[in-house]
Structure 1
């Protein structure tokens, strides 16, 4: 029985709590949050210990912990968990800057614990299916992957702009589909309803003249989460919300068979499996760092109106 905890039980953290509490072979031991009322209410609901100071939670001899706190606190909380010899799943983005990301990755490697980054779209069943289709060669060489991730603004997001909040999802997803890293980025963005950028369009270059295009905003009144994959022998359309994948080629329009499931549940199950078996997670610290590096380069690009190369 693996002993786990959750640090941060806001909107996303509450889902971590719910899923761990239902998971076989896992004991949800304790949760922590600075909001005393919220954490005590959640603890009573799930029959676990409640702490306002997460360092008290880390004394509970845990095997693993989810860190679901604001991005600016990721480094501090993750390092404290690692120092407590605890495996960590930290929500995306991995950190607020590359230096902090490196510190977290190095600490986990030195301690011999797992550091996984919560890039949830990698665990969407539609993503899994599209990746299988691309790798099978059905679409031929892939030349362009574009995404649209738009919807209304959530007031709880205050510490980062849309590129770090939402853009990292698509940067990571496109890199995952290509199986490679971004070599340069150009972004156009602006801020109209937020203190940081609230809409952005990013062009990503990969090897072999392959492109990625990311469109994100907090201005659209309805939620859209989609990907289009263009190959020389066909086109694939993915809907993250509906969890559907449709393939168009010269002869057919076909709907792929997708076994629908909750992406976060798949993500946490993967994390627990990695902890139990000592495996490297699908979204490692270095993967999370790459998505962060490209996102920060995109912010630099729109601020400087220039193409930024990714080394």
Structure 2
């Protein structure tokens, strides 16, 4: 049995608790949150032990821990978890600065534990299917990938803007689908209802030849999560929410077969599997650092009104 804890049981963390409690090879040792009433109620629902001090949870000889706290606290909590000997899954973005991300990556490497970043869309069955399709060559050379991730603003998000909160998902996914790192960023954004930016259009270049475009905002009254990949032999249209992939070429319009499942459940299963086998996660600390670096560069780009090379 893998001894697991969850630190931070808010909107996202509660789902980590739910899924771990359902896993046969996991012992959910405890959960922690500064909201005493909330953590006790959730612990009662899932038959585990509540902690208001996460350090006491970390002293319970955990094999693994999910860290689902505000981004600015990631470095502190992750380093303490690593120091306690636990393998770590930290929610995206990996950290608030690349320097802090580097410190977390180094600490995990030095301690010989896994550091996985919760880029959940990598575990969306539609994304996994599209990655296989692209790698098979069915669409030919991919020259452009664009995404649209928009919807209403969630008032609980106060510490970061839309780029770091949700735009970072598609920065990571476009890099993943291309199998390349971003080398150039240009962004246009603004803040109208939020202290940080609440709408952005981010242009990414890969290898000075391939295009990525991320459109994101907290202004659209309905949620949209879509991606288009344009290749020389065809085009793929992906819907993250419906978990569908539709392929168009000069002869056919086809629906790819996608086995639908909960992305977070796939992500946590992968994490536990990596802990069990000592294998590296597919969303590594380095992947998380790259997505963060690009997102922070996009913020710098729109503030300084210029294109930036990475």
1:29-68 alignment runs, 5 A limit: 29-68=29-68
1:105-124 alignment runs, 5 A limit: 105-124=105-124
Which string of whole-angstrom CA distances, capped at 9 and with x for unpartnered residues, describes residues 99-143 of structure 1? 100000000000000000000000000000000000000000000
Which residue matches 1:287? Answer: 287
Which residue matches 2:97? Answer: 97
Which residue matches 1:210? Answer: 210
CA–CA distance in 1 between the matches of 2:228 and 2:156?
A: 29
1:157-176 alignment runs, 5 A limit: 157-176=157-176
Which residue matches 1:240? Answer: 240
CA–CA distance in 2 between the matches of 1:210 and 1:284?
A: 23
CA–CA distance in 1 between the matches of 2:18 and 2:46?
A: 8
Which string of whole-angstrom CA distances, capped at 9 and with x for unpartnered residues, describes residues 147-202 of structure 1? 00000000010000000001110000000000010001000000000000000000
Unaligned runs of at least 5 residues, structure 2: none
1:195-206 alignment runs, 5 A limit: 195-206=195-206
Which residue matches 1:223? Answer: 223
CA–CA distance in 1 between the matches of 2:208 and 2:162?
A: 29
Which residue matches 1:132? Answer: 132
Which residue matches 2:78? Answer: 78
SS in 2 for 1:85: coil
Which string of whole-angstrom CA distances, capped at 9 and with x for unpartnered residues, describes residues 198-227 of structure 1? 000000000161100000000000000000
- Structure 1 stretches of 4+ with a deviation exceeding 6 A read none
CA–CA distance in 1 between the matches of 2:203 and 2:178?
A: 15
Shift of 1:90: 0.0
Which residue matches 1:19? Answer: 19
Which residue matches 1:189? Answer: 189
Figure out how many residues of one structure are paired with residues of the other and give that number.
310
Alignment RMSD = 0.5
Shift of 1:47: 1.1
Which string of whole-angstrom CA distances, capped at 9 and with x for unpartnered residues, describes residues 268-290 of structure 1? 00000000001110100000000
SS in 2 for 1:60: coil
Which string of whole-angstrom CA distances, capped at 9 and with x for unpartnered residues, describes residues 231-286 of structure 1? 01100000000000000000000000000000000000000000000111010000
Which residue matches 1:298? Answer: 298
Which string of whole-angstrom CA distances, capped at 9 and with x for unpartnered residues, describes residues 44-102 of structure 1? 11111111110000011110000000000000000000000000000000000011000
CA–CA distance in 2 between the matches of 1:209 and 1:98?
A: 26
